[in-house]
Structure 1
Amino acid sequence: MKKPANAAEVVLAPGQVSFATCPTRLRTLLGSCVAFTFWHPQRRIGGMCHFMLPARNRTGQPLDGKYADEALELLLRHARANGTRPQDYQVKVFGGGEMFPEQPRQRPAHNVANLNIRAALALAERHHLHLAAQDMGSTGYRTIMFDLWNGNVWVRHQPMGILEKDAYQKNQRAAGR
């Protein structure tokens, strides 16, 4: 299906959540961050979130899309507000690319990409969401383009190649690390 002439285009920055009920293309760029896409095949509505971290201690604060649990909660609320059940959506998840693979880590807790991946999978399970597709892990970044008029999600993954690793190592030496 071709892009409708009246289709809107929304670019999500880190921490943003978008939900649309009209023909819309949602885009984002992910590194260690993760994005959920939600698409309702019968209604052709849906949304996407772009979260940066797994969770926070939220005591009394409003929901913030920077955090996995809160970003997903915002998408779930949009689904319900539109008279639909979250389980009726086609859900896909992307991202969690390691951006600094050469950087030594003392503890696995410092690997934000892996923490985000684990959070996304645990949240999908907790909310009984069937993942129709996923593309997570590895290194580098992903460009995501999600068309609400047909549910297609396009992913371009750019792993960290030899040039990126060489540039990173040169920067580390220059910084005295």
Structure 2
Amino acid sequence: MDKTPPAVVPAFSSQIDIFLRPGEYFVGDESHRIRTLLGSCVSVTLWSPQRRVGAMSHFLLATRCHSGRPAAELDGRYGDEALHLMLGELARDDVRPAQCQAKIFGGGEMFSTRTSVGHKTIGRRNGEAAREMLQSRGIQVVSESLFGRGHRQIIFDVHSGNVWSRQISPKANAATLFASF
């Protein structure tokens, strides 16, 4: 896995903007604002209102296909492992899972072809898995914007805990997508 840190985007305020690419996560204090673009991927945000510390992931798949052997290293591309990594870093800041508020975003349908009846898209599997992972750890989900068609732009303001999500139709062109972010 690429070990380069998330990209830092210049900010117009005193906040530090972080842009997550697929497979990345970030944990930071109230001086950070975290952004990403999602298709079928899912982002989970965790926020501690008492500590004003937050975390955000951008995972591609809910879990990796296990071959019976444990992974040598946790990987943020997988939702269960990204959540484990984020909770580990939050614990170092004395934030327990029950102190966090979670929000879930993404899981969009990116292609016009429909799946056959009874089959879930990758995005739907990702979103449903995120719900289950958070519930199993006793983390309250206070908001979500999941599924539908197209991309989402996500901005998480760690200072306030607010997360803005904008869904963009698959028909929108790339110039419109990037110009509006």
1:73 alignment counterpart: 84
2:18 alignment counterpart: 10
1:148 alignment counterpart: 158
Bigger Rg, structure 1 or 2: 1
Aligned: 1:30 with 2:41: no
Counterpart mapping for 1:82-101 below 5 A: 82-100=93-111
Aligned: 1:42 with 2:42: no
Which shifted more, 9-18 or 150-159? 150-159
Query: What value does the CA root-mean-square deviation take over the aligned residues?
Result: 2.1
Equivalent residues, number: 160
SS of 2:86's equivalent in the other structure is helix
Q: Residues 31 and 8 from structure 1, CA distance in 2 versus in 1: closer, same or farther, beyond 3 angstroms?
A: same
Greater fraction of residues in helix: 1
AA partner of residue 154 (structure 2): I
Task: Report if the CA contact (8 A) 1:138-1:159 is conserved.
Answer: no
Compute the TM-score of the two structures, normalised by the length of structure 2.
0.81
Q: 1:87-124 CA distances to partner (integer Å, 9 max, x unpaired)?
A: 11111010000001x22435755621111012111101
2:178 alignment counterpart: none
SS of 2:56's equivalent in the other structure is strand
Q: Residues 21 and 104 from structure 1, CA distance in 2 versus in 1: closer, same or farther, beyond 3 angstroms?
A: closer
Q: 1:108-166 CA distances to partner (integer Å, 9 max, x unpaired)?
A: 556211110121111011111110100001110110001111111111111335x78xx
Aligned counterpart in structure 1 of residue 139 of structure 2, from 129, 148, 154: 129
Q: 1:32-88 CA distances to partner (integer Å, 9 max, x unpaired)?
A: 000001111111111100000011126232110000100111111111111111111
Q: Which runs of 4+ in 1 moved over 4 A?
A: 106-110
Compute the TM-score of the two structures, normalised by the length of structure 1.
0.83
Gapped regions of structure 2 (runs ≥ 5):
1-10, 174-181
Which shifted more, 64-73 or 81-90? 81-90
Alignment partners' CA distance in 2, 1:108 and 1:70: 27
